[in-house]
Structure 1
């Protein structure tokens, strides 16, 4: 109870406008979760092309701009591509002009100036193309011990490698990664956000609204997670920049009400 009361006092002491953890950048999500909490494992789940990578980058960049130390693992993109996405978020119109090549030298300089400002944020990007769960955990522990670490973001779960063992199924491999990531969050005492795929069954439902049963390849994801946030688009052909977030599981608080979602701008 002494430890519990100490933790409560610490949480209340760092509260800012009702947010006791790392701010998510989405006010309604902050209200539901109180921010990303230390030791929590958070999964963001969606079908391919739904915006999982962009959402994870949005969470990471917002935390870094608030002064938190963030480690972003990208298993699909090079660090330069992550940088381009950041510029697209911070200066969308200018970025589109420069990318198309129809621009002046001054506009290129202006975009690079935005990049220099973002470079001051304390966010590290690891773009190792094939990283195992062992290497990821060891790398995060090293960053924590040398520089400090407040948030880890992994994009995404199904691309993590494991040690091959005879007779082990893919479901068991994904379950191992999930449990190791939960242990990592607890040992680092910081939140770990992990993108994950949904299976094709969600596309066969009436309104394409995802549920926990649609998590791909392992039921351990649902079991290990403290928070599961699912990406959902209400209408086909809608604004690609906007997405609905469904809090399908919240171990320490409320989940989304039926047929409701939190709208968020991905860019």
Structure 2
């Protein structure tokens, strides 16, 4: 099934519809999805990201890695993070999604769109506004080495005044990953100022961050754009 427009344009349509009709964004997204022939927005998004198969990141990661997955909307960064969790679960590893973006139901729909059948045990889904570095490390305490956790997404960790600055939270996650051997991956937005005509793949300088993160906060970074993916070591 071919979409009538790229996913980022459909997202824009949904936002405009929500504003014009004075309805919640999720209802507007559901209408857009229905117009495109999908039962739910999450299924539409999963379909859009299937255009590019980036394979698996898991064999290229080491225990204790801090991985950054970054791209502009609609280029497959969330799919890559979910695929990482599914691959980890398929190997019998503990895998956990900490989502500040999706509800538990929406996340499960996206997992189901990527894998049929789902591996056992399925990735754990934590969807609560309480997610922060301390919440994540407390939840993962006692996890075996090689556990994989994905945070969706990095910028939202910095939105609540009651939590420490993003730089401090990233340091907490980095220290925890090194000590425990948990692989920690954070999905991140790329700033709108990024110009694909100047660089085919974004870089750390293109991250959309309200506050800076410490140098070498991540051990590896995976940048995506227009079907191209680049994994690089940062240390």
TM-score, normalization by structure 1: 0.59
Distance 1:206 1:161 in 2: 29
Report the counterpart of residue 184 of structure 1 in structure 2: 176
Give a deviation string over 1:10-53, Cα, whole Å, max 9, x none.
xxxxxxxxxxxxxxx836x57xxx53211111110111232222
Secondary structure of residue in 2 paired with 1:224:
coil
Q: What are the residue-to-residue correspondences of 1:119-198 with 2, within 5 Å?
A: 120-141=120-141, 144=143, 150-161=147-158, 164=161, 173-198=165-190
Q: Does residue 1:79 correspond to 2:79, yes or no?
A: no
Report the counterpart of residue 214 of structure 1 in structure 2: 206
Shift of 1:164: 3.6
Please report the RMSD computed on the Cα atoms of aligned residues, expressed in angstroms.
2.9
Contact 2:66 2:217 in 1 (8 A): yes
Distance 2:72 2:214 in 1: 16
Give a deviation string over 1:32-75, Cα, whole Å, max 9, x none.
xx532111111101112322221100100011012111121111
Report the counterpart of residue 47 of structure 1 in structure 2: 72
Give a deviation string over 1:196-254, Cα, whole Å, max 9, x none.
11112213743553122112225535521100111111xxxxxxxxx321124342xxx
Secondary structure of residue in 2 paired with 1:247:
strand
Q: 1:35 aligns with which of 41, 55, 60?
A: 60
Contact 1:71 1:123 in 2 (8 A): yes
Instruction: Classify 1:148/1:225 alpha carbon distance in 2 versus 1 (closer, same or farther; 3 Å).
Output: closer
Instruction: Classify 1:153/1:204 alpha carbon distance in 2 versus 1 (closer, same or farther; 3 Å).
Output: closer
Q: 2:82 aligns with which of 57, 76, 90?
A: 57
Distance 2:200 2:60 in 1: 28
Secondary structure of residue in 1 paired with 2:109:
helix
TM-score, normalization by structure 2: 0.66
Shift of 1:137: 1.7
Secondary structure of residue in 2 paired with 1:187:
helix
Distance 1:131 1:161 in 2: 10
Shift of 1:174: 1.9
Uncovered stretches (5+) of structure 1, i.e. residues with no partner: 1-24, 92-113, 234-242, 252-267
Distance 1:176 1:50 in 2: 28
Contact 2:151 2:187 in 1 (8 A): yes
Determine which structure has the larger helix proportion and give its number: 1
The number of residues matched between the two structures is 181
Instruction: Classify 1:215/1:196 alpha carbon distance in 2 versus 1 (closer, same or farther; 3 Å).
Output: same
Instruction: Classify 1:198/1:248 alpha carbon distance in 2 versus 1 (closer, same or farther; 3 Å).
Output: farther
Shift of 1:161: 4.8
Distance 1:163 1:201 in 2: 25
Distance 1:122 1:209 in 2: 32
Secondary structure of residue in 2 paired with 1:200:
coil
Instruction: Classify 1:150/1:211 alpha carbon distance in 2 versus 1 (closer, same or farther; 3 Å).
Output: same
